[in-house]
Amino acid sequence: MAIFIPIGLFVESSSPLAKVLYLTEAVLISLALLFTYSAGSWLAASVAAVIFLVLLGGMGYRAQFLICLSAAAIVVLIGFSSHLNLLLQHASDPVELSSRVGAWQTGLRVISAFPLTGIGLGGLAYLVNAAPYMVPEQLILLAHPHNSYLEWAAMAGLPVLFVFVAILVLNMRWALHNWIVADPRSRCLFAAGLAAIIALSFNSFSVNAWTLPPLSAIGWVILGILSSPLLSKSQVGHTTEGKHDKELASAKAG
């Protein structure tokens, strides 16, 4: 999630020094992401990168993003090839995939048993109450089903999950509206924020991202800023003021 903020600032900034700073930040965050050895996080970042590329709009902005992406890839491939191989081995390990799917299956069994109320909020409640529904593929007891959406439904019930998804989708819709009315330069920052939320949401299918307090707090702050109605009002007011100034200048010239 964090990697798209410096990339957006890199594309938006016009200062060469600032671009170097933001590019360095993006490369360092890429290395930190590599050291997690999380295939789900890399997949989420890849999906969000495609969304970010689409939302950037201008070819010049897209070229800058590809430069940033290439720099990070070169550093990882040349300097950390052994760590990349470990990541690929971890991602292709059938035991890891089977145990993760088993955690999801256990979560689904809990949801089917308690669809409306769940089994109670908190890792300890899930650890104890989900034990009778654990499938053989899940090798150990877990405090959550490694999926934020299943976690909401299993711990708090399907109605809470529906409310969460509705709030998320509605705010994403308002954020896209603000992106549409924004000027081309501001769209870079909107694209970065939306890509961060997409990465967080997509990663939540494999880990408890949206239900982990530090990550969810950052995510809601970013999404709250992007979806604020004050942004669209300021953009519309700025556009109207600009048109009025042009009309006034034309009238004076005439």
112 has pLDDT over 90? yes
Each residue's pLDDT tens digit, 184-221: 778 888 999 999 999 999 999 988 899 999 999 999 99
What CA–CA distance (Å, rounded) separates 148 from 190? 25
Whole-prediction pTM: 0.83
- What does the pLDDT read at residue 248? 45
What CA–CA distance (Å, rounded) separates 176 from 61? 18
Each residue's pLDDT tens digit, 141-169: 888 999 999 999 999 999 999 999 999 99
Nearby residues of 223 by Cβ (< 8 Å), 6 or more positions away: 168, 171, 172, 175, 193, 197
Could you tell me the two tokens for 84?
Answer: 């990349």
- What does the pLDDT read at residue 76? 76
| Best CA proximity match to 54, nearest among 195, 154, 211, 248 | 195
Concatenating the DSSP letter of every residue in 99-127 gives HHHHHHHHHHHHHHHSTTT-S-SSHHHHH
60/103: higher pLDDT:
103
- Domain ranges for the chain: 4-91+159-253, 94-156
